[in-house]
Amino acid sequence: MKYIKIGLVLCGMFLIPSVKAVGTAIEPESKDSLVHIAYTAVSNKDLAGGISVLKPSEYLDKSYSTYALEGAEAFVGGNNLWGMGNALVLVDGVPRSIDNITTSEIDQITFLKGANAVVLYGSRAANGVILITTKRGKVGDRQINVRAHAGINTPKAYPQYIGSAEYMTYYNQACINDGIDPLYDKATIYNYGAQVNPYRYPDVDYYSSDYLRKFYNSYSAEADFTGGTERARFYAQAGIQNNNSLLNFGEGKKEGTTRLNIRGNVDLKLNDYIKTYVNVSTVFYNNHSALGDFWNKARTIQPHRYSPMIPIDMIDPDNPNLQLQIRNSRHIIDGKYLLGGSQQYLTNPIADAYAGGYIAYTSRQFQFTGGLDIDLNQVLKGLSFHGAMSIDYSNTYNESVNNTYAVYVADWGKSEQGTDIINGLTKHNKDMNTGTQNLSDSWNHQTVDFNVHFDYTNTFQEKHNVSAILLAAATRMRQTGDFQYETNANMGLQLDYNFSQTYYASFGGALVNSTRLASAHRLAFSPTVGLGWVLSEEAFMQNARSIDRLKLTASAGILHTDLLFPTDSETGRPLYFLYDAVYMEAPGYGWHDGKYSNNYTSVTRGENLKLGYAKRKEINVGIEGSFFNNLLNMKANLFFTKLEDIPVIAATQYPSYFQSGYPKTSFIPYTNFNANQYRGFDFQIDLNKKVGQVNLQAGVSGTYVTSKALKRDELYADSYRNRVGQPTDAIFGLQSEGLFMNQAEIDERNIEQKFGEVKPGDIKYKDQNNDGVIDERDEVMIGRWGAPFSYGVHLTAQWKDFTLFLLGTGSVGGTGVKTDDYYWVNGDKKYSVVVRDSWTEKNPGASYPRLTTTNGSNNFRYSDFWTYSTNRFDLAKVQLTYSLPHKIIQSSFIKDLKVYVSGSNLLTIAKNREILELNLGSPQCRFYNLGVKVEF
């Protein structure tokens, strides 16, 4: 068979002629040394800077996970590609969701970070690219790998809310703080606290074992098959995953998720010059859950509002009307209870799960790719053609049975024996089980993607290696609700040269097109250049025995992109026609008799037909080395990036009369105005060492990114309020100075409070501009959302047939803000345990402001009073693997057998661990897993 030799350097990634590839279906001399990049592959030793690689085959047996990017922080510095934003995810070159693929299907994951690495993907790739390449068949006898897993998920923490009696006590305190009479008397509080009759005086804990399991189960199994001949090769994989939920009552017991995935990749050699391949993948996903929203309602309904259950044995047996109500009820729970509630709570999360019905979410994904590779050596030596077309289709919908049900409020009294008895029932709502299955929320998504390219590679005088690629690519997507297709098209050109695999130079460019711009400005050219130098090949380095390989790279480029354009606030989908003016009809002024009115035309946005692309301008330099006979390997990149001409409505750049408040009118258009700056570095360091009988592999990697807003549409009188000069993810709020201790302190300060009346126990804010007023003009930077530095570490220790793997991840420098109702407790909302240290005159050193029955507008706003550090280190994974010795199985049909136990998300080390581990919805869980892998 004649293979096409490709020596292409794509986007500054330097490829040498030893690489053999044909389109997507690669058959190299040494496949393991290849790294998949844009539209081709390159030898790992010739990879340029700005690129990181994960090969699941190298770590999957010692660190199994279904999620493709688990461990990315530890192995390659994370999937945050230099802080640019959401990266473009490509599976076999096609834009696809990373949720539609499992790790075991993947041959390689390439993180393309630098501008030179992504330029051939056009405007869609300005935030970087995560390129996932699936496995392909191998020539030889059929091989079968089977994995099976069983695990449990245990919650790390639940929200902690105070009980009924304590709630009433603290709510009374809030009333006193507001100068009103307490709502609950002492006898009521006692009855709820004593819990003699929890049905009459309920104290509902939704996170108790009454409603939740201690853990939920996860099961999975998968099998892959590979084999073939020189003429035809195949890879096939099928997997199934299933898990239930934590809910342990009613329809919640039936809750669960099932995912079935099937993939088939086939490579065919039609003759010595033409090859073709077909990739097909489908995912079936089903989720069954109780109707209602248990986790959201559990954190909002106060514990004393109602009893979820009304015990039948406490209903007056001698009252025929009550007994008739029992017999007429369609929902008697466990033969013992009626559903409880109130006129305010006609539905509740407990009753929903018992009688409300269910909802079944269904998702179907189908993905198809077909490709053709043609060797054109007979036309021109080194010339080849490659083309591929993909069609993806996604469909989701909900099927539900929606029942209505009655809830009852008990009227309690005393029996002749002095015990509590229900002598009256008030029914709210009615029982109605229609049995009708409802279909809703149907959603479809379609993707059509194609690319064609001519590749050329040749070597002259055994030293001068040249290569080129000429590319055309386009993607077209549409989903339910779109009025037009989302399209992306570009042409690309790559020219590369290297001398003796020592000196490299490349030029890459893309001609991009976007329908989000006016026709005269839709085309733009994105150029990149790259250089490389392998120092270890120089004569002056020949005596440096500690250096195995040392390489320097540098690249620069300008990428034109429409990714930074505004999107729809609800759907996140791209907005189009931003260059057009928007005119709307609005109601006008009526005549004096009120019978007639005149409409008028309102302008809400001006026209700018010169609106253009945003630009990513970048310079990066890299170093890569191997030392001490491959004992130590390292890679690092330093990058400087500017994002310029980001489209915004820059109101401060226009006269004030360009817009009015009433009637609401604006002639201000979108313009290319905002700009950001990103600087930082990433690194990978890996160590391989044998200590006695133990083989050790250790590594650390990280990414540091600092950002700055260079240009903003702002006109603040006080410079400290400017967003320019601050991180792009800066958090602005008020600076607190503790709590007011008494009224005298408030009066003495004599500062006007624009955020509402303040009383002792409220938060005191710093008057930044000394104008005697606390308002928005006193907001300063109080933190940044993202962590500038993220890192990971991994350690593998192999002794005989045992392998221990440890994975840790961490981040430093981020800020969180406690803003949820769990922390911002006002009005009559459910009280969490944070109120236990609320301010009173007897507790002046409290960590929490005074409680209030009002909205607490002064206290509950962004300020550093509520911020906390998100610095953390997580023990993300521990796995112990035992490989059955080959001498035991060598005479059987089993080629290899591994058994392993693992734990994920095990431990968080952080100052604010309790906050970081707390989810107010479905909880974070530790996962303990037992798995087996068998190879036949």
Residue type, 875: L
User: How confident is the model over 243-285, as pLDDT tens digits?
Assistant: 999 999 999 999 999 999 999 999 999 999 999 999 999 999 9
- Phi-psi label, residue 237: left if phi above 0, alpha if psi -120 to 50, beta otherwise: beta
**DSSP labels, 250-316:** GGGGG-EEEEEEEEEEEEEE-SSSEEEEEEEEEEEEEEEEESS-HHHHHTTS-TTS--SEEEGGGB-
The Cα 911–Cα 917 span in angstroms is 11
Q: Give the pLDDT of residue 296.
A: 93
Q: Give the pLDDT of residue 15.
A: 30
> Which candidate, 780, 636, 647, places its Cα nearest to that of 719?
780
Q: Give the pLDDT of residue 543.
A: 85
344 burial level (CB within 10 Å; 0-12, 13-18, 19+): exposed
Mean pLDDT lowest among 731-735, 861-865, 888-892: 888-892
Q: Give the pLDDT of residue 78.
A: 65
Contact between residue 666 and residue 584 where contact means Cβ atoms under 8 Å apart: no
Task: Determine the average pLDDT of the residues in 817-823.
Answer: 95
Q: Give the pLDDT of residue 3.
A: 32
Q: Is the per-residue pLDDT at 655 higher than 70?
A: yes
Distances from the Cα of 101 to the Cαs of 40, 105, 300, 446, in angstroms? 21, 7, 36, 18
In sequence order, the 6+-apart residues with CB closer than 8 A to the CB of 553 are 12, 48, 49, 50, 504, 530, 531, 532, 533, 621, 622, 623, 624
User: How confident is the model over 872-889, as pLDDT tens digits?
Assistant: 999 999 999 999 998 888
The Cα 627–Cα 606 span in angstroms is 61
Task: Determine the average pLDDT of the residues in 496-514.
Answer: 92
The torsion of the CA quartet 427, 428, 434, 438, rounded to 10 degrees, works out to: -160
Task: Tell me the torsion sign for CA atoms 710, 712, 715, 721.
Answer: negative
Residue type, 56: P
Q: Is the per-residue pLDDT at 563 higher than 80?
A: yes
Task: Tell me the torsion sign for CA atoms 569, 570, 573, 575.
Answer: negative
Q: Is the per-residue pLDDT at 481 higher than 50?
A: yes
User: How confident is the model over 457-477, as pLDDT tens digits?
Assistant: 999 998 999 989 999 999 999
DSSP state of 697: E
Residue type, 593: D
User: How confident is the model over 526-556, as pLDDT tens digits?
Assistant: 999 999 999 998 888 888 889 999 999 999 9
Q: Write down the residue that tokens 């803000």 correspond to.
A: 817
Range list of β-strands (E), 331-416: 337-339, 357-375, 383-402, 407-414
Mean pLDDT lowest among 485-489, 711-715, 830-834: 485-489
What is the pLDDT confidence band of residue 595, given thresholds at 50, 70 and 90?
Answer: low
> Which candidate, 505, 680, 503, places its Cα nearest to that of 50?
680
Q: Give the pLDDT of residue 301.
A: 94
What is the pLDDT confidence band of residue 69, given thresholds at 50, 70 and 90?
Answer: confident
Q: What are phi and psi of 814, to 5 degrees?
A: -90, 165
What is the pLDDT confidence band of residue 590, given thresholds at 50, 70 and 90?
Answer: low
Q: What are phi and psi of 630, to 5 degrees?
A: 65, 20
Q: Give the pLDDT of residue 483.
A: 81
The Cα 232–Cα 253 span in angstroms is 48
Question: Bigger pLDDT: 585 or 506?
Answer: 506
In sequence order, the 6+-apart residues with CB closer than 8 A to the CB of 99 are none
In sequence order, the 6+-apart residues with CB closer than 8 A to the CB of 539 are none
Supply angle C-alpha 352, 295, 242, rounded to 5: 90
Q: Is the per-residue pLDDT at 621 higher than 60?
A: yes
User: How confident is the model over 444-459, as pLDDT tens digits?
Assistant: 999 999 999 999 999 9
Which residues lie across from 268 on neighbouring strands?
232, 276
Mean pLDDT lowest among 72-86, 320-334, 555-569, 702-716: 72-86
Q: Is the per-residue pLDDT at 591 higher than 70?
A: no
User: How confident is the model over 733-787, as pLDDT tens digits?
Assistant: 999 999 999 999 999 998 999 999 999 999 999 999 999 999 999 999 999 999 9
Q: What percent of the chain has pLDDT over 70?
A: 95
Q: Give the pLDDT of residue 84.
A: 83
Contact between residue 338 and residue 309 where contact means Cβ atoms under 8 Å apart: yes
CB atoms within 10 A of CB 31: 14
The Cα 906–Cα 921 span in angstroms is 20
Q: Give the pLDDT of residue 893.
A: 84
> What six digits make up the tokens of 804?
């221990």
Q: Is the per-residue pLDDT at 64 higher than 70?
A: yes
Q: What share of the chain is helix, strand, coil (3-state, %, to 5)?
A: 15, 50, 40
Q: What are phi and psi of 186, to 5 degrees?
A: -65, -35
The Cα 762–Cα 749 span in angstroms is 14
What is the average pLDDT score of the chain?
91
Kindly report the pTM of this predicted structure: 0.89
Half-sphere exposure of 441 (CA within 13 A, CB side): 10
Mean pLDDT lowest among 69-83, 237-251, 919-933: 69-83
Q: Give the pLDDT of residue 502.
A: 92
In sequence order, the 6+-apart residues with CB closer than 8 A to the CB of 311 are 199, 336, 337
User: How confident is the model over 213-249, as pLDDT tens digits?
Assistant: 999 999 999 999 999 999 999 999 999 999 999 999 9
Q: Give the pLDDT of residue 81.
A: 85
Q: Is the per-residue pLDDT at 840 higher than 90?
A: yes
User: How confident is the model over 384-425, as pLDDT tens digits?
Assistant: 999 999 999 999 999 999 999 999 999 999 988 889 999 999
> What six digits make up the tokens of 805?
């793997």
Contact between residue 316 and residue 422 where contact means Cβ atoms under 8 Å apart: yes
Supply angle C-alpha 208, 214, 216, rounded to 5: 125
Residue type, 422: I
> Which candidate, 91, 34, 41, places its Cα nearest to that of 68?
91
Q: What percent of the chain has pLDDT over 90?
A: 79
Q: Are strands 752-753 and 773-774 parallel, antiparallel or unpaired?
A: parallel
> What six digits make up the tokens of 340?
């409880």
What is the pLDDT confidence band of residue 23, given thresholds at 50, 70 and 90?
Answer: very low
Q: Give the pLDDT of residue 597.
A: 58
> What six digits make up the tokens of 884?
């059955």
Highest mean pLDDT among 403-412, 432-441, 653-662: 403-412
The Cα 625–Cα 673 span in angstroms is 41
